Structure 1
Amino acid sequence: MKSSELKGNYDGIFSLGDLCLASIELQKNNLRPYSGVLDWMGSIQLSDVNKLLMNRFAGFMELENLRVVGEANEEMLLVSDDAYGILSNHDFSKAQNTHTHLAAYPEVKEKFNRRVERFLQKVDNSERILFVRTEGSIQDAYDLQMVLTGLVRNDFRVLLINHAPVKGIIELDWPLDKVCAVQLPDGDKWEGNHGIWKSLLNGIYHI
């Protein structure tokens, strides 16, 4: 799929990871009207996201599957959902939680339950949904397309962005009907590509 085929109106837009970058850029471009399930999490392997979507989030962030694996920063613990290989780095503060007791778990789980419910309602009721993902192989992109075909009731598109030593936007000619795959510069992907993201998302609107 060409990037030109992404243009138009959507009544659902979600980030699918792999880190916070897609959510940040969607927000900067006024395309993030609500929080998605994976917005501020680490989902490094797209195959893990495919599994999560295929299971319709069953068992996601259940307490028995959570494990503190380190510290995300000076304020937050890094917590792994070992059932799906997905990392929480913005949910469990050191002020409230310890390595052996996640005291904030009930409110964190309630938040994710709300986001999952919204996501599932959107994929069931929206006329056209856009999913944005950073990092993924062509095989995982194909698997994602197949999973979403079974999950989304109506039309959808996927914008998959891989970072590489390139200049500007490089469109990849992947033989996928629903996935537009591109490469963006990897030199400073967090701060150096804002203008490129703006150009890439130009002509895309949330209604």
Structure 2
Amino acid sequence: MEIQPYRFESIYSLGHNCQVAAQLKRNGLRRQAGPWDWFNFASAAEFCGVIRRRFEGFMQLEHLEAYGKSVNNYYVRDRQSTCLSFHDFKNTPNQPPLYDYAEFRERLDRRIARFNDCLSSERRVLLVRIIQHQHEAEAIYASIHETYANPHISMLFILHGPESDISKLPSFAEDARLVRIPRGRTWEGDTEAWAAIQSKIRLE
């Protein structure tokens, strides 16, 4: 089954990690940043909860904890949702963790407002998410459609597998597509597979 229509006015990553946003950008399909682009948010159940709450309480300062760090950034967990951030909070000498939260919050709120506005409009939208199990797709699909009024939302769900080819999987809805692709060797995934599945998608 192919996604119809092929042309979209907006395309957003739904995570669960930054591979989706990176591959959308690589293939010329990422026009603007979305709220999920650079988080690691593997739990489909918690993700659906954030969607249904329209982000209420999401990544609020009182729920955040720094649990590690790299040379450049702190690793931060939202205890309420289990969402992880690896890129948003700077590791700056002589500054405590999360000292730059206000800057992060302003950026995230702007992206959330843009996302909510788009999914409450009538623009043709494609949402793309990596999932770990097929049943997650149906749960995420339901949470989106129960929360947002836009009747023109299509979804593309990506599963990683050990096979070297691309496989289309049976879908549960006309406006949802499930595809299994090779896992790839780096955090960016299999670039050729991503290019193949996005080759017929156009962003107007």
Whether the 8 Å contact between 2:184 and 2:190 is mirrored in structure 1 is no
Matched, 1:133 2:129: yes
Find the partner of 1:16 among 14, 21, 25.
14
Find the partner of 1:159 among 156, 159, 166.
156
Whether the 8 Å contact between 2:7 and 2:203 is mirrored in structure 1 is yes
Seen in structure 2, the aligned counterparts of structure 1 residues 97 and 130 have a Cα distance that, compared at 3 Å, is: farther
Deviation at 1:191, TM superposition (A): 5.2
**Within 5 A, what are the aligned runs for 1:37-186?**
37-71=35-69, 73-95=70-92, 101-150=97-146, 151-186=148-183
TM-score w.r.t. length of structure 2? 0.92
Q: Which runs of 5+ in 2 are unaligned?
A: none
Whether the 8 Å contact between 1:68 and 1:78 is mirrored in structure 2 is yes
TM-score w.r.t. length of structure 1? 0.91
Whether the 8 Å contact between 1:11 and 1:126 is mirrored in structure 2 is no
**Aligned-partner residue type, residue 169 of structure 1:** I
Runs of 4+ in 1 over 3 A off after TM superposition: 189-192
Percent identity of paired positions between Structure 1 and Structure 2:
28
Whether the 8 Å contact between 1:42 and 1:86 is mirrored in structure 2 is yes
Whether the 8 Å contact between 1:6 and 1:204 is mirrored in structure 2 is no
Deviation at 1:189, TM superposition (A): 5.3
RMSD in angstroms over aligned alpha carbons? 1.8
Secondary structure of 2:107's counterpart equals helix
Matched, 1:194 2:188: no
How many aligned residue pairs are there? 203
